Amino acid sequence: MSAPSTPDGAGAGAIRVLLADDQALVRGALAALLALERDIEVVAEVGRGDEVVPAAQASGPDVCVLDIEMPGADGIEATAAVRRALPGCRVLVVTTFGRPGYLKRALAAGATGFVVKDTPARQLADAVRRVHAGLRVIDPALAASSLVEGDNPLTEREQDVLRLALTGAAVADIAGGLHLSQGTVRNYLSSAIGKTGTTTRYEAARVAQERGWL
Amino acid sequence: MSAPSTPDGAGAGAIRVLLADDQALVRGALAALLALERDIEVVAEVGRGDEVVPAAQASGPDVCVLDIEMPGADGIEATAAVRRALPGCRVLVVTTFGRPGYLKRALAAGATGFVVKDTPARQLADAVRRVHAGLRVIDPALAASSLVEGDNPLTEREQDVLRLALTGAAVADIAGGLHLSQGTVRNYLSSAIGKTGTTTRYEAARVAQERGWL
DNA sequence: GCCCGGGCATGACAGCTGTCACGGTGACGA
DNA sequence: TCGTCACCGTGACAGCTGTCATGCCCGGGC
């Protein structure tokens, strides 16, 4: 495979890529996949969100390929941090769950591309190239459902109580954790249940999470 | 990298591998990783559990590398089906969640190996070789926690009601779905809550799922 | 200055959840 | 034959959940 010229005129240099995924096997496999491309070079691999920026600063990638669910910091936080620390570096988010809420937050955080792990493997390298060229790479179906779903209707406090509800905490525990009264917590829960169209706080939390609202 | 001789004396032939994972990107990346090994050949890739046996029959793999969570049939069902249909074919289960319950059921279904996606990438090929040689490949930490946790204490009916509880169904819905009275359902739920050491049916269902009891 | 929304709170209420006691039936193993 | 276990059921009860009405305070936008 011949090496194409890079859009910014840098000549024969390969696209330098940093990979972040908490699963070592998946990360290594993705590195192997990208290493097949002569114009792409994997220069760093990390397994935690909070290792992305230090590793990027040390290795100087052109593109960061980031999973979302990682310890230390999630991929969206890492995206924002990368954009701040290395403005010339572009971010491609690669995630298991194609959640419209994730897509929106990723783009808001500065990601150039967003693909899900259902994507055919051969498209990953192309996505990296396109992102490197400054082109948007977003799964069309996901973009469509993101438009349909609209913005997150939950207030900050509603999100707070739902996050604790996800852990199975009782109203009294949530109240204690957020320094609110139990009645207030019940009001926020009830409101969140209404906005998600569910009947219990557990369902509300799950649906909010699925939509990327949490 | 030189090709080692195979343990069964088949000579220079590479180990034929079938890959099953519902995420195309992960599946393709794993195929790329294994394809780097001169003694391993990926002969088929499928994305659904119920495609495993037909594909295996068509391609004649020595080892099937199976994810667990797949549409059509999960990797444990696929393991049992492969062992029945092609007794000479060995199975290596590769999964995201290292759940002791999964491990036990996978081994009971006939899997020779069981690794989690936290495994370093370079160990996958070695795991495939060892499984091909008939050797057990099991993550030691997982094996240890599997022994500690003991068997699944839930009765069939308790599992049934917890599965429906996972979907957020109310007692009346669960009763209707299983043709039981509401009181009976509450008794089973209460018993399952006790056995999982939780306080709500949602937590009980989640914990049971985490332990591989569901 | 007014209006609106979010945050926070109290209180009342209907219905649900989970626990517990008790009991019948059938299968199975000793 | 007996004991045990799972399955199934009823009923009572305490406490929790979710809804709803109502109201205050504060900050932002018009």
Q: Are B86 and B39 in contact (CB under 8 A)?
A: no
Q: Is the pLDDT of residue A150 over 80?
A: no
Closest chain B residue to A96 measured between Cα atoms?
B23
Does B206 sit within 8 Å of A117, measured CB to CB?
no
Within 8 A of B19 by CB-CB distance, chain A residues are none
Residues 6+ apart with CB under 8 A from A100: A142, A145, A146, A148, A149, A211, A212
Closest residue in B to A23 (Cα) is: B118
Banded pLDDT at B211 (limits 50, 70, 90): confident
Q: How close is the nearest chain B Cα to the Cα of A113, in Å?
A: 15
B168/A198 CB distance under 8 A: yes
Q: What's the first-to-final CA gap in chain B, in angstroms?
A: 43
What does the DSSP 8-state code read for residue A98?
A: -
Contact A96 B23 (CB under 8 A): yes
User: Does B9 have pLDDT greater than 50?
Assistant: no
The residue of A26, A46, A207 whose CB has the most chain B CBs within 10 angstroms, and thus the best one to mutate to test that interface, is A26
Instruction: State yes or no: pLDDT of A125 exceeds 50.
Output: yes
Question: What helix, strand, coil percent values describe chain B, rounded to 5?
Answer: 50, 15, 35
Please say if the pLDDT value at position A165 is more than 50: yes
Average pLDDT, chain A: 88
CATH number of B156-210: 1.10.10.10
Q: Which has more confidence, A182 or A105?
A: A182
Q: How far is CA B78 from CA A169, B16, B91, B136, in A?
A: 37, 18, 9, 19
- Confidence category of residue B12, pLDDT binned at 50, 70, 90: low
Whether B156-210 and B15-148 are alike in CATH topology: the answer is: no
Give the pLDDT of residue A185: 96
User: Is the CB of residue A20 less than 8 Å from the CB of residue A66?
Assistant: yes
Whether the CB of B181 is less than 7 Å away from nucleic strand C comes out as no
The answer on pLDDT for A6 being more than 70 is no
> Does B10 score more than 70 pLDDT?
no
The domain segmentation of chain A, as residue ranges, is: 15-147, 156-210
pLDDT at A144 over 90: no
**Looking at the predicted structure, is the pLDDT value of residue B61 above 60?**
yes
Partner-chain contact A25 B122, CB within 8 Å:
no
Q: Give residue B50's pLDDT band: very low, low, confident or very high (50, 70, 90).
A: very high
Q: Residue A22 pLDDT more than 90? A: yes
User: Cβ of A157 < 7 Å from strand C?
Assistant: yes
Q: What is the pLDDT of residues A64-77, one digit of tens each?
A: 999 998 999 999 99
Report the distance separating Cα B136 and Cα A102, nearest Å: 40
**% of chain B residues with pLDDT over 70:** 93
% of chain B exceeding 90 in pLDDT = 67
**Topology (CATH) of A15-147:** Rossmann fold (3.40.50)
pLDDT at B5: 43
CATH code of the region B15-148:
3.40.50.2300
- Decide: CB of B76 under 7 A of nucleic strand C: no
Average pLDDT for B85-112 = 88
